[in-house]
Every structure is written in structure tokens, then in C-alpha cells.
Amino acid sequence: MHRYRLELRDRINNFPILEILDNEYQQLSWSYSRIGGCGEISFRLPRKLFEEKNIGGDYNLRVYYRDPDTNAYNLRYQGLVETKNPNIQGNSDVIGINGHGYSVQLGRIYLDNVTYTNTEASAIVTDLLDNYIANGDTDISYDPGDIENTGFTIDNIKFNETADVALQKIAEIVGGREHGVDMNRNFYFKARSTTVGWNFPLGYKIKDFQETQDFSDVVNRLIVQGAESGGTYYKNTYNDTPSQLKYGIRSQVHQNSSITTDTVASQIATSIFAEYNDVVRKASCKLVDFNGQIEGTNPIPLFVILGKAIKYGEKRYGEFLYSGQVQRYVDRVNYRLSNNNNIEVSLDLGQVRPMVVEQISQLKFNLEQQRSSNL
């Protein structure tokens, strides 16, 4: 009995099962992203040309995991077929199948002059779902509890773009959101997690850990240039002294014609320094002997790698302390089945952003609204 099941289902009439491919699929892999939800899926079938006629575009694909205690199959992934590639090499015939999660259907819906005025952001998301996405034009649905109130009202916004672009724009304006389509084909729009849910020890449950520390985008002096008044343009300079002591002066000019006061300029500077006054860390790793589901809950909990008996402040890299438990976002989870049907899990990890960073998108949007109204 296989640990993982792959089902091929029809694309209509509630997705009836066409085939169970447990004894046939090869090189099965799929992914899940914090932004987007269920991602790519691919596998190979050892079939001859024209023997794959029952596999068509948008046919439903589902991956299940068999619980060893109950033998029940639990859904892990759901997507649709996008391409198939018959490949004949000598006497060997193989058909490659590639697909994607249902978020791909958001890019098929075009919003033509759709406008909202004085509407809270999550209410806009819900209205788009009700009238353009989950109205039968896609296979996507949603649970109202998965569309969380943002507390941010958008004065005016117009969409002339596809639904995926519009939803991403709303998420960027609000800040701190995870959104996408999950394994149940449900759209979610939720605040990012601030709770650690995964703790893995380095060298025991984690292998092939790699971290990139990027110092190139450090900013610790910000020159804010704003609107013109009485023949003089607004200008002020802000400094992050601790960062300057670490990395030297690293300047950036920020221009926005709606900035007229020190209060607004200071908000911009605070948000930019919060994100860019120090090294940016990204990482990747592989998990050992793990059959769980990192994305089992939305939003995905934070991830912590436990060092090898390193306590906070115990080690120094150059002149600066760097140790302890670093909290990270799980940006992407990659699953791949080996030839013996064991799962291989790899993660792409991102750095947790300070909450003040999220304010900058709202501030920039409000400034742009103000600038547009004055034209």
C-alpha cells in the first residue's frame, strides 16, 4: 500500500475520479507557497503516445498521504493539468505532466473598470470573490472566516487588470498578508503568523542548510524629498546611527511629491530603516525523516532552526553578535517523492519583517491618493 496517492479526476461534474495513478507515477513533486498557496506539480507516466487521451487541460490532480495509524488518506495538494509532454526515446515512451494549484485561475479573470470607494480592504476582497471569482467562473471558493478584516479603508481604487494582480495589489497596500488558494480550492487572505510553530534541530532534523546574508541593500541615511511650496521643495535627512556605526554611511533618496511635513517624512524613514538598516537573511534547507505538512494551517507558523547547543550571545561573527534562535517565514515548501516512495522536503525561508515595515505601503498609497486628488 503506497504512502502517497495521486488521483486524476475530471474537470467537470464535481471532479469524478478517472484514474488512481499510485502504481504508475514517477518523479512526483509539488510545492506550496506562503503567497499563492498550492503551486507547481509535475510527474511522469510510462505510457505510449496516444495512451494519455483521458488526460486533458484543467483535469483535476490530487495528492493524498496515507496515515500509518488509521490508513486513511488525507488530502495534501490539489491542482489542475496545464501541460503534457509525450516523449519517445528509442523504445521508451514517457509522458510528462505539469500542472499548478488553482490560484492560476485567478489570472484568467479580467476586472474591467472595477472601482471601490471608501471600502475596507477585506470587504473589497470579498466582493471580488463573490462577483468575479467564486461565482462559477472558476473552481475557487472561500470561507468567510478565511478573509480577515484589515482595519484599513481604501479611499478609492480602480482595477483594470486580472484578479490575481488586483488581489496582490490589495495585499501590498495593506501589508502583512498571506493569500492564495489552498489544497481545498479555498481562497484565503489572512494576517501573517507571529507564532513559532516549527522548531527543528540543525544536524538532526535538518540537512543542507544554506543561508544568504545580503548587505548590499542596507540603508541608514534617508534623504526625503517632497512637494514644492512657495518655490522651495520639502527636504529632510534622517539617520540610523547604530546602523551607520556597523556598516558606514549608506544613503538613499526617497521622493514623493505628496510629502509636505516632518511627521509624514519621519514615518517613511522609520519604516524604511526598519526593513533595510541591517543585513537581510534568506535561507534554504532540507528536512530529514519528515512526513508532516508544513502548510497544514493557514497562515503558516514561523520556523526556527535550533543550533547545536549554541546559546544567545555565545558566538561572534566579526564584531557583531549572531546566534540564538532566528525566527523565519516559510516562503515555499517543496515536496518530492524518491524512487522508494519516501518524501523529500525542502524549504525556502525568509526573514521576519518588523511590523512597522507594513505601515509604509499604506502610507505610500495614501500619499498617492492625495497626489492624484490634487491633479
Greatest alpha-carbon pair distance for the chain in Å reads 81
Residue 299 lies in a domain: yes
Range of the domain at 56: 4-103
- pLDDT score at 124: 96
- pLDDT score at 271: 76
- pLDDT score at 299: 93
Residue 363 lies in a domain: no
Which of 278, 298, 316 terminates a domain? The answer is 278
CATH of the domain at 68: 2.40.10
Asked if 306 and 207 sit in the same domain, the reply is yes
Asked if 202 and 345 sit in the same domain, the reply is yes
Asked if 265 and 344 sit in the same domain, the reply is no
CATH of the domain at 205: 2.40.30
- pLDDT score at 75: 97
Asked if 272 and 284 sit in the same domain, the reply is no
- pLDDT score at 313: 39
Specify the number of domains making up the chain.
4
Asked if 154 and 289 sit in the same domain, the reply is no
Q: How far is CA 78 from CA 129, 143, 210, 283, 345, in A?
A: 19, 17, 30, 27, 18
Residue 366 lies in a domain: no
Asked if 12 and 86 sit in the same domain, the reply is yes
- pLDDT score at 375: 56
Asked if 206 and 299 sit in the same domain, the reply is yes
CATH of the domain at 169: 3.55.50
Residue 237 lies in a domain: yes
Asked if 25 and 82 sit in the same domain, the reply is yes
Which of 278, 301, 324 terminates a domain? The answer is 278
- pLDDT score at 175: 80
Residue 367 lies in a domain: no
- 67 — phi, psi (to 5°)? -65, 120
- pLDDT score at 344: 93
Asked if 177 and 35 sit in the same domain, the reply is no
Asked if 269 and 345 sit in the same domain, the reply is no
Asked if 207 and 115 sit in the same domain, the reply is no
Residue 97 lies in a domain: yes
Asked if 125 and 210 sit in the same domain, the reply is no
Q: Residue 209 corresponds to which cell in the numbers above? A: 542548510
Which of 253, 278, 303 terminates a domain? The answer is 278
- pLDDT score at 360: 67
Report which residue type is found at 36. G
**Burial readout 134-164 (b: 16 or more C-beta within 10 A, e: otherwise):** beeebbbebeeeebbebebebeebebebebb
Instruction: Write out residues in the chain with pLDDT < 50, as ranges.
Output: 310-323
Rounded CA gap, 73 and 62, in Å? 11
Task: State the pTM of this model.
Answer: 0.84
